[in-house]
Amino acid sequence: MVSVTPICAFSDNYIWAVVGERKACATKPCAVIDPGDATPVLAFLQQYDLALTQIFLTHHHADHIGGVRRLLEQYSATVYGPADPRMPAGTMPLAEGDEVALLGAPYRVIEVPAHTRSHIAYYGEGRLFCGDTLFSVGCGRLFEGSAADMQRALDKLAALPDDTLVYCAHEYTASNCRFATLVEPGNIALQQRTEAVERLRRRGEPTLPSTIGQEKATNPFMRTREIGVRQAAAAHDRSAHEPAEVLAVIRQWKDRC
């Protein structure tokens, strides 16, 4: 059985480690997603006696790629990521619809430009590794794309099965819940998620993975067609009607919070 473990990095990043099965007497293979820092990854690999074979990158930000060079000094891993000159040298470039084997299991590449213009996500085995595009109860900041880009990206992710496990790259859920509650104070699913998240954080546990179904029920950025979210956006900007316009208003609102 494959296992997925969060490796904590910096103040709130998760580097997801996928650990495969041991073959014969060799060490277990491991793939990591978005290793922004090599130090905690190297410690994890050593602690569990793993061989790093693959690195998957979602976008070029330093907190997602910063550890790649040092990891490659110690392991001969293949690096995958978007086609973007800002990615580490030697990255195998991937595009929409490409299939890539993650420890042998087929994953599909989904282009989700918005947080950055070349951001990609990986979907396979009922799992989604989505970097800084979709957060639990939130979404990434719009550094290089528009609200319409983010709406399109989130629509693509919303089309995945509801039970898809969502592995985001940051632990932002508690503060996202506080903002989402301003947008949709009457959302019962959001109230329940907020309570569950507070319990997990009190115990120091991750709030991830989430699921696509949970996000569709609680995440205001995935609910821009819901009447409550549209009304909340319209209270800030009466011209917000279309989903992308609603998303733009609540994204700007959140950026000010």
By CB under 5 A, the count of residues binding Fe ion is 2
139: region left, alpha or beta (phi > 0 left; psi from -120 to 50 alpha)? beta
Please state the closest distance from residue 65 (CB atom) to Fe ion, in A. 10
User: Which residues make beta-bridge pairs with 51?
Assistant: 29
Residue 37 interacting entry, from Fe ion, Zn ion, none, C-beta within 5 to 8 Å by type: none
**Pseudo-torsion of CA 247, 249, 251, 252, nearest 10°?**
160
Name residue, tokens 């991937």: 94
What residues between 115 and 134 interact with Zn ion by CB under 5 A?
132
First to last CA, the chain: 42
Burial class (CB in 10 A: 0-12, 13-18, 19+), 90: exposed
Instruction: Tell me the C-alpha distance between 11 and 237, whole Å.
Output: 34
Among 28, 61, 170, 223, binds Zn ion (CB under 5 A): 61
Between residues 32 and 229, which has the closer beta carbon with respect to Fe ion? 32
Residue whose CB is less far from Fe ion, 160 or 168: 168
Q: Which CB, 54 or 116, lies closer to Zn ion? A: 116
Query: Using CB distances below 5 to 8 A depending on partner kind, what does residue 223 bind out of Fe ion, Zn ion, none?
Result: none
CA dist., res. 16 & res. 209, Å (int)? 10
Q: Residues in contact with Zn ion, total (CB under 5 A)?
A: 2
Which residues are designated catalytic?
59, 61, 63-64, 115, 132, 170
* Cα distances (Å, whole numbers) of residue 130 to 68, 76, 120, 149, 211: 18, 24, 7, 15, 12
The closest of 80, 63, 160 to 120, measured between CA atoms, is 80
Give the residue with the Cβ less far from Zn ion, 12 or 96: 12
Residues 53-72 that bind Fe ion (CB under 5 A): 63
Binding mask 10-49 for Zn ion (x = CB under 5 A): ----------------------------------------
Beta-carbon neighbour count of residue 74 at 10 Å? 13
Q: Using CB under 5 A, pick the residue from 37, 111, 132, 149 that binds Fe ion.
A: 132
- Work out how close the CB of 16 gets to Zn ion at its nearest, in angstroms, rounded to a whole number: 15
Q: How far apart, in whole angstroms, are the C-alpha atoms of residue 57 and residue 32?
A: 9
Q: Return the number of the residue (73 or 255) whose C-beta is nearest Zn ion.
A: 255
- Site for Fe ion contains 37 (CB under 5 A): no
Nearest approach, Cβ of 61 to Zn ion (angstroms)?
A: 4
Q: Which residues bind Fe ion (CB under 5 A)?
A: 63, 132
Q: Which residues bind Zn ion (CB under 5 A)?
A: 61, 132
